[in-house]
Amino acid sequence: MSEQFEPTIIGFTCNWCSYRAADMAGTARMKYAPNVRLIRLMCSGRLDPTFIMKALASGADGVLITGCHPGECHYLEQNYKALRRYLLLRRVLKGMGIAPERVKLIWASAAEGVKLTNEINTFVEEIRALGPLGWNKKLAGNGHKIEEPVMEEVAA
């Protein structure tokens, strides 16, 4: 690993807007930080806080949630539910002593490849500034079950 801390970030994207924005960013060959690994959901409304906790507990340093702009949800209004859950989850994280800034919700339409890439780059820097979370290491060996397949390390 390089001197600089390279955060690992899980990104949850909406199938209709941000995932397509990511596609667009690709088609337009926009370059952005490689630290984010995307998971496609049908809608930000599908986002179960469990997923975010799971990601953070399993070694992610941050979680990026992206959905359609308010009023533009493919499913009419589900992104508002995502927003509500996000706001409450942040409070819980705070209570756990985890910087709420490690989880971020942004709106990006299918047309906003540029916005998405900028948001990703900004977020990566924000997380870099916060430093590693390494919850998986915190828990490792303390009876927490994480699959540990035998395999060599691949640089992140």
Partner 1 sequence: MSKPKFAMYWSGSCGGCEIAVINIHEKILDVDANFDIAFWPVAMDAKVKDVEALEDGAILLTLWNGSIRNEENEHMAHLLRKKSKILVAFGSCATEGCIPGLANLSPMQEIFDVAYHTISTDNPNNIHPQTVTKVPEGEITIPALKDRVHTLAQVVDVDYYMPGCPPESHQIAAVIDLVIQVLEGKAQLPPKGSVIGAGNSTVCEECTRKRNVKMIKAFHRIQEIAPADPELCLLEQGIPCNGPATRSGCNARCPAVGAQCIGCYGPAEGVIDYGARLVTAFASVIDANEPEEIERILDGIPDPTGQFYRFNLADSLFRAGSSAFKKNGH
Partner 2 sequence: MSAKKLEKIGVYVCHCGSNIAGVVDVVDVANWAADKLGHQGVVIARDYKFMCSSLGQELIEKDIKELGLTRVVVAACSPHLHEKTFRTAAKNAGLNPYLVEMASIREQVSWVHTDKVVATAKAKAVISGTVSRVIENAALEDLKVPINPNTLVVGGGIAGIQSALEIANAGFHVYLVEREPSIGGHMAQFDKTFPTLDCSACILTPRMVEAGTHPNITLLTWSEVMSVTGFVGSFNVTIKKKARFINEPLCTGCGICQEKCPKKVIDDVYEAGLGYRKAVYTPFAQAVPKYPVMDKENCTYFLKGTCKACEKFCPTGAIDFNQKDEYINIEVGNIILATGYDLFDARRVSNYGYGRLPNVFTSLEFERLSNAAGPTNGDIVLRDGKTTPKSVGIIHCVGSRDKNFNNYCSVICCMQGLKFAHLVHERTGATVYNFYIDMRTAYKAYDEFYQRVLEEGTLFVRGKVAEVTDAARNEHEKGKLIIQTEDTLIGKQRRIPVDMVILSSGLQPRYDAKDVGKLFGISCSMDGWFTEKHPKLDPVATMTEGIYIAGCAQGPKDIPSSVAQGAAASARVLDKILQKEVVLEPIKASINQEQCSGCRICNNLCPFNAILFHEDRMVSEINPALCQGCGTCVAACPAGAISGTGFSNEQILAQIDGLLMDVNLVGA
Residues engaged in binding partner 2 (CB under 8 A): 8, 10, 19-20, 22-23, 25-27, 29-32, 34, 37-43, 45-48, 50-51, 54-55, 58-60, 71-78, 81, 85, 117, 136, 140, 146-156
Q: Which residues contact 75 (CB under 8 A, 6 or more apart)?
A: 43, 45
Distance of CA 67 to the CA centre of its chain: 12
Out of 32, 33, 38, 49, point to the residue binding partner 1 (CB under 8 A).
49
Q: Which does 129 bind (CB under 5 to 8 A by kind): partner 1, partner 2, none?
A: none
Tell how strand 9-14 and strand 103-107 pair up. Answer: unpaired
Instruction: Please choose, out of 1-9, 17-25, 80-88, 117-125, the segment that lies near partner 1 by the rule CB under 8 A.
Output: 80-88
Out of 74, 81, 115, 128, point to the residue binding partner 1 (CB under 8 A).
81
Distance of CA 65 to the CA centre of its chain: 5
Q: Which does 144 bind (CB under 5 to 8 A by kind): partner 1, partner 2, none?
A: partner 1
Q: Which residues contact 79 (CB under 8 A, 6 or more apart)?
A: 14, 43, 44, 45, 67, 68, 69, 70, 72, 73, 107
Name which of residues 104 to 123 contact partner 1 (CB under 8 A). Answer: none
